[in-house]
Structure 1
Amino acid sequence: MTPTLRTRAIRLIPGLALCLAVTGAAYLCQRAEQALLGEAWLEALVLAIVIGTALRSIWTPDPRWQAGIAFSARFLLEAAVVLLGVSVSATTILAAGPALLLGIAAVVVLAIAASFVVGRLLHLPARMALLVACGNSICGNSAIAAVAPVIGAESDDVAASIGFTAVLGVVVVLVLPLFGAALHLGGLQYGALAGLTVYAVPQVLAAAAPLGSVAVQMGTLVKLVRVLMLGPVCLLLSFAAPRLCNETGGTWPRDPAGDRPARARPALHHLVPWFIAGFLALIALRSFGLVPERLIAPAETTATFLTVVSMAALGLGVDVRTVASAGSRVTAAVVLSLLVLGAMSLALVLTLHMA
């Protein structure tokens, strides 16, 4: 190991150790639930983000913790998603079908449009309305971070949008299983609903877990299709945003050959993230029988553990005070946007009649 890599690895230790400690506490709480109640009503996936959020609410980690927390929230999650490809069966893929795939694309596009209109009706600046719309409709923080330079968003708007998606993401994870149970949705239906409505991949896994492995598999598939919509959406916004955001405020990069704003188009390697490519590759290997059966269970266990660690990291990045300090119009726009997405998603799931 080179000195540079050794230094980087050492920087990860404090934050990674903290995430592992929260993960351990989540598993202990799950075991305590099982001992006291006979079963775990809240699994470690959910408990990790709840414990992490509670800790973050009373204590703000200083910079020495951040590298390890960021590594756990991003790379460990991406590795977990890749490993999940081993567990996805051909039955789940066939259950999705072309109708669901087209429906996902339609829901994302319509939800972005509807959420943008809601934000503008509430007199949010156009850039803020677009950040909220894309964050809710695609993949939370990742979508906000990708869209921000395309539309010339200010850093304050980006920070506020990311804070909201983090806080509301926890709320959705806790509430959605109750909603699914009340509607008596099956594993495929509920997994599709979770994949369509929940922000981040680990949150989808946590929200889907209470209804079993089929819900987790379907939720992961649907969520990753949503993530793939980020590239086309950024490309379209690079052309449309200058007209949509024609108000004062924000900065546009200038075209050196003229006076028109230069559109920030996404790089090709951002259109299909590496972990989605890996996930699809493992699905293909599993489908062709190239993955030994004895490796499937350990891969699933490892993916679950890495996901719990990433959930702990996600919780440690959630500041619930963000909602309290935001204005009522922003709060209303984010909540209404989420409700619009939920209504569209439920309509699609019920229309497709998945068994």
Structure 2
Amino acid sequence: MTRIFLAPFILPQQAFRFVKTNLPGVLLCLLISCMAMVLEAAETFLLGKAWLESLNLALLLGVFARTLYEPGLIWADGIKLCSKTLLNIAIVLLGASFSLNAVLCAGPLLLVGVMGVVLFSIIFTYGVGRVIGLPTPQLLLVACGNAICGNSAIMAAAPVIRAKDEDVGTTIAFTAAGGLVVVLCLPLLVPTLHMSQSAQGALAGLTVYAVPQVVAAAAPFGLTAVHVGTLVKLMRVLMLGPVCISLSLLAPKLLHMGASSKPPAAPYHLPLSRLVPWYITGFFVMMIARSLSIIPTAAVAPLGLTATNLTILAMAALGLSVDLRSVIRAGKPLVLTVCFSLAGLIGASLALVKVTFCD
């Protein structure tokens, strides 16, 4: 009864403490995000297109800021809020951008093929990374990022495997660089393969990370290539939920294997709430709601824009968590794993395109 009576006084105090604790870090991430957006606009104005998007620019600016000055405790809570909570909300909102109807209309053969490529890429990357000696957390992040959708997949998988912010930021930095190389080289490579527009678009959708990058990579091949590439990219993104759920079940064993050859002192039991993280559940709920037209078409663009802006904030926060000296020390195994992983993904994608689009 006393708590109920005091609630009107306690709740405002808690809200004030929450804002006071998180505001400095959030404002710092917001400042870096705004700078990234300005730089992207400057790229478009000067070069005709943005070679580096705000997501990657925010990460790089965050790393640069951390190199110049390591944020103290006053910034820590707000940075964590951006890199965790706001990112998870962005993943939920991302589900509203996808409709199961569009995927089902493409036919089961292509869908099964895309699932096979994603699965092959994850297994191949894991095997290569183990041979090279990349730490297991970074290895799992690289595998998910290259196989599914780059930054979003890495950040979605990170809480599932309990990856450190530093590992997440470092992995994103390297995979983003590899993804940028693919975007730049694909329009030069594909014309030499003498494929149809549909096949060219599918190859872009299978190998490029973000949807805007898929559009940029497929645009030189024609409108049909853009449409097919976007659809195939959507199919890859739909693998995000199943892969995260699988990681929830397998990651404890994989992490113990990577950490030591000795078995753990006590078996690790993953809590039920971590088997299906709430943001993955939310992602599927939003996607189903979109497929059933519960979410109106007019709301899709604003929700997508909100998800993008929250993700940019998260990227800035992750950049602020990256120690550049650690990146340099861990560079060689990570670079080799990313390169071999991309090579395996491109090879598997070419094989699928040759079988599926044999015209």
* TM-score normalised over the length of structure 1: 0.71
CA distance in 1, matches of 2:207, 2:201: 10
1:21 aligns with 2:31: yes
1:74 aligns with 2:78: no
Q: Is the 8 A contact 2:90 2:307 kept in 1?
A: yes
Of 55, 67, 92, the residue aligned with 2:65 is: 55
Deviation, 1:21, is 0.8
List aligned pairs for 1:1-355, cutoff 5 A: 1-90=11-100, 92-94=102-104, 98-99=108-109, 102-103=112-113, 106-107=116-117, 109-122=119-132, 124=133, 130-138=136-144, 139-140=153-154, 143=157, 146-147=160-161, 162=168, 164-182=170-188, 183=190, 189-194=203-208, 204=210, 207-208=213-214, 210=216, 219=233, 222-236=236-250, 248=261, 252-254=264-266, 262=267, 264-326=268-330, 328=332, 332-333=336-337, 335-337=339-341, 339-341=343-345, 343-345=347-349, 347-348=351-352, 351-353=355-357
Choose 163-172 or 181-190, whichever is displaced more.
Answer: 181-190
Unaligned runs of 5+ in 2: 1-10, 145-152, 192-198, 220-225
Q: Is the 8 A contact 2:142 2:154 kept in 1?
A: yes
Query: How large is the RMSD of aligned CA atoms in angstroms?
Result: 4.0
CA distance in 2, matches of 1:57, 1:241: 29
Q: Is the 8 A contact 1:167 1:323 kept in 2?
A: no
Deviation, 1:18, is 1.1
Choose 276-285 or 137-146, whichever is displaced more.
Answer: 137-146
Deviations 1:196-252 (A, max 9, x none): xx5xxxxx467547458966775465235245323324534656777x569656x71
Q: Is the 8 A contact 2:183 2:216 kept in 1?
A: yes
Number of residues of Structure 1 aligned to a counterpart in Structure 2: 325
Deviation, 1:13, is 0.8
CA distance in 2, matches of 1:188, 1:315: 32
Q: Is the 8 A contact 1:103 1:348 kept in 2?
A: yes
Q: Is the 8 A contact 1:166 1:318 kept in 2?
A: no
CA distance in 2, matches of 1:296, 1:318: 33
CA distance in 2, matches of 1:143, 1:181: 30
CA distance in 2, matches of 1:40, 1:112: 29
Name the SS for the 1:289 alignment partner: coil
Flag the 1:61–1:188 CA change in 2: closer, same or farther, 3 A: farther
The residue type equivalent to 2:312 in the other structure is V
Q: Which residue of 1 aligns with 2:6?
A: none
Choose 233-242 or 282-291, whichever is displaced more.
Answer: 233-242
Flag the 1:99–1:66 CA change in 2: closer, same or farther, 3 A: farther
CA distance in 2, matches of 1:350, 1:313: 41
Flag the 1:180–1:2 CA change in 2: closer, same or farther, 3 A: farther
Deviations 1:285-311 (A, max 9, x none): 222222334333322332332232223
* TM-score normalised over the length of structure 2: 0.71
Q: Is the 8 A contact 2:178 2:338 kept in 1?
A: no
Deviation, 1:7, is 1.8
Deviation, 1:67, is 1.8
Q: Is the 8 A contact 1:83 1:299 kept in 2?
A: yes
Choose 158-167 or 19-28, whichever is displaced more.
Answer: 158-167
Q: Is the 8 A contact 1:56 1:317 kept in 2?
A: yes
Unaligned runs of 5+ in 1: 149-154, 199-203, 255-261
The residue type equivalent to 2:327 in the other structure is V
Q: Which residue of 2 aligns with 1:151?
A: none
Flag the 1:172–1:316 CA change in 2: closer, same or farther, 3 A: farther
Deviation, 1:111, is 4.3
The residue type equivalent to 2:236 in the other structure is V
Deviation, 1:108, is 5.3
Name the SS for the 1:229 alignment partner: helix
